[in-house]
Amino acid sequence: MADPDAPESTHLRIRREARGFFTGLWTTLRDHPLGMWAREQWQTSKWFRRASYLLAALVAFNIILWATVTRNLPSAESLLTYQPPLPTMVRGVNGEIVYSYARERRVQLRYVDFPEQLKNAFISAEDKTFWTHGGIDFTGLAGAVIDYTLKFGSGERARGGSTITQQVAKNILIGDEYSITRKLKEMIVARRIETVLSKPQILELYLNEIPLGRQSFGVQAAARAYFGKDVADLSLSESAFLAILPKAPEKYGRAKYANEALTRRNWVLDQMLKNGHINQQQAQEAKAQPLGVIPRRIEAYDPSVGYFVEEVRRDLISRYGESADAGPNSIYAGGLWVRTSLDPQLQIATQNALRSGLLRYGGSKAWHGPTEHINVDPDKWQSQLIALNKSVNYLDWRIGIVISRDGAKATIGFTDGQSGPLGGLPDALKAGDVIAAAPNGNGWAVRMIPEVSGGMMVEDPHTGRVYAMQGGFDAGLGSFNRATQAQRQPGSTIKPFVYATALDYGMTPASEVVDGPFCVYQGAKLGEKCFRNFDMRGAGGTHTMRWGLEQSRNLMTVHIANDTGMDRVVNQISKVGIGKYPPYLSYALGAGETTVAQMTNAYSALANNGVQYPQSLIDYVQDRNGKVIWRADNRRCDGCLMAEWDGKPMPRLAPRGKQVLDPRTAYQVVHMLEGVVTRGTAVVLRDLGLPLFGKTGTTTGPTNVWFAGGSQDIVGVVYLGYDQPRSLGGYAQGGTFAAPIFKQFVTETRARWSHRPFVAPPDVYMVKVDRVTGKRVFDGTPSTDPKSPIIWEAFKADAEPRRGLSSDMAAQRDAMIAAARKGAAARERQPDVTSPQASPSIAADQSVIVQ
């Protein structure tokens, strides 16, 4: 063991002594008053530190809350000026709504427009304390928290527990993200909303914006979508049904969930009874009612307007954009009101006439194939067909898809899920073909949509407003508009503007032109180009310009264009807006390309004595508040709204149209084109008995057939041809296929056509002329007979025809010629006999003959 007497370690001694020293020092300081004060301060600082930690935690929590929740929260004040996305409504010329551009069904109502029972149904179903809470229902919130905790990790969605105010915040300001963060944002914004808006304002926003399925937002749109009614016409049971939709908008409207919907509707009725909004009898009667939900339906707009409204849509998108991101007046969110020039009566007649013409040409031809072909999935064919978005509105035809084919048997299906046997099968028909079919007994029969197509447009020549437009057989088959987008050769319909140029440079309708060969040397590579008439031959001799236009003679037109100067001709064609072409003679026969729309506007200038207006489909556009933001006629009328007349001349609007043709020339051309109808290539229109002008056209091939013309008040142009140009067959001509289309259009709208004849402008003289020679005559009267030898012809004041012979003088002339020939023959037989008395007489006869 250790020796007690051993010397102590110095290190240990120092440590012991130092510990004793510090212990004594601590005791001294602790007992000293100053030490006691320090000890008290230390205890106080400990609580201070704890408070500081707590404050720091609160600051950190608020920073995190701000960063994750409240930062960038939308302002509740923005709801005071909130503009919901609204569809654009399109009106026709009579002010009636003809179409709407909408991706969502929305109709905005005021608070007072909502029936009380409908408001009570929604409040009972969604937020029974709505009128008393400050934006948050804490009882409902607690239940939602418990439900969320129980379902956490299960994949199920917890019930929301949101008040109506919170739903307004979610639907309009925040979004529908499923998260705790979104819920916190929703609560904060709801509290703010309650300080900015009144309860009726909040409920109005809610009932206008709540998504209720079937692309419907708001109760008015939903009422139309589910019941085909306005909210004011809803029964109690129907109002209760709408109130169940916020929970599952895409579920309860489906037939297979009808029992669940019925149970939920009856629960809403029980809640209304419990809250004192209805009595027991009303609840029982409403519960006894079926759901009464109608199948999904498309807005009942006339499908004949398809091509017209699609052209309007393109125009509006180019001006204002498509979605809300493009600006406040976008087509699908801006709530625009668009007044168009669409005339429903003329539009339907245009569609019918063009369709009839297409079927008349192509309806009896062999089956040319389906409208489209896809790789059909037997299990998903309905969704595949819906995705194609094809339809046809003709008789009882429907667009369907061939689901299967086995020999002489086939099955066809439609977008509504219906299917059935298909008969009348072409050999080439196969599964995946998208075709037209019509009911046939217990099944369906194949119908053929013509492969040939075409376009037609109708315009008011006094304003340039387009009344009607048809761009093919049916707009449901495709949006390509052959009236505005198809570039086609106009053929002989361009000839009136060649003749107009010649009339401007000294020729008259009575001028004689050679109908004979015309060849042009085009250089060493191209050689010589020789023109020919449609019938492949010339008539020989000379004929009047009128006859050449009435009979559409190519050789005469080429002679006229060459003599006038092709640079002048193409300049005139450009002035009327048909197109810009190089100065080659072939363009005088319609070799260039143009559209139906351009030709319609050009012929409108002819009908309006040379004044041409910009072509327009839209009259004016109003924003959602009714302010006009664009109009086609933007002329100012200073002084038109004076409170009192100032005694000065009445204010007048400046002319809007542009004079693109000499008015006298335009009338002369129209007067000749009336002859095209009465005895020329458009004689099929003659029995209409109306003052009409027009010109047919047939291009090389023939690949296109045209008619252009009308009256002083209505002008129309139509063409037929394949989309990929190819021959229509040698029998196809403008007078046999295009003109009858225009005739049907006039027949269907006969009440719209005036018997008022075309009115000649100043400095035009109507002169009686011989129809064949164009020479002026003095006796006789033009008759209604198309072949009358005497007609009225239009001349400019400085270009009246040279005096010709009366019918009596013509008879005397023929007798004198016969006598002169007889006398000449007698002299040949008796050369030695002379008659000095006869010489003056013969000389006089010869002078008459020369004259």
Q: Return d(Cα 591, Cα 192) in angstroms, integer.
A: 70
Pairing of strands 453-459, 433-440: unpaired
Going from the C-alpha of 600 to that of each of 384, 456, 707, 709, 824, the distances in angstroms are: 40, 9, 10, 8, 60
Q: Return d(Cα 66, Cα 87) in angstroms, integer.
A: 37
Token pair listed for 553: 């003679």
Phi, psi of 412 (to 5 degrees): -120, 145
Residue 186 annotated in active site? no
Longest dimension (CA), the chain: 202
Do 471 and 463 contact (CB within 8 A), yes or no? Answer: no
Q: Return d(Cα 508, Cα 503) in angstroms, integer.
A: 6
Residue type, 714: I
DSSP per-residue string spanning 428-479: T--TTEEEEEEEETTEEEEE---S-EEEEEEE-TTT-BEEEEE-SS-GGG--
Collapsing DSSP to helix, strand or coil, 82 comes out as coil
Token pair listed for 723: 């989309």
Of these residues, 126, 459, 512, 550, which one is catalytic? 126
Of these residues, 124, 237, 453, 492, which one is catalytic? 492
Residue 357, Cβ neighbours under 10 Å: how many?
27
Do 619 and 339 contact (CB within 8 A), yes or no? Answer: yes
Pairing of strands 409-413, 398-406: antiparallel
Going from the C-alpha of 243 to that of each of 59, 219, 220, 328, 770, the distances in angstroms are: 43, 9, 12, 31, 83
Provide the angle, in degrees to the nearest 10, between the axes of the packed helices 554-564 and 495-504. 40
Residue 492 annotated in active site? yes
Going from the C-alpha of 522 to that of each of 519, 526, 528, 531, 730, the distances in angstroms are: 9, 6, 6, 13, 28
Catalytic residue set: 126, 492
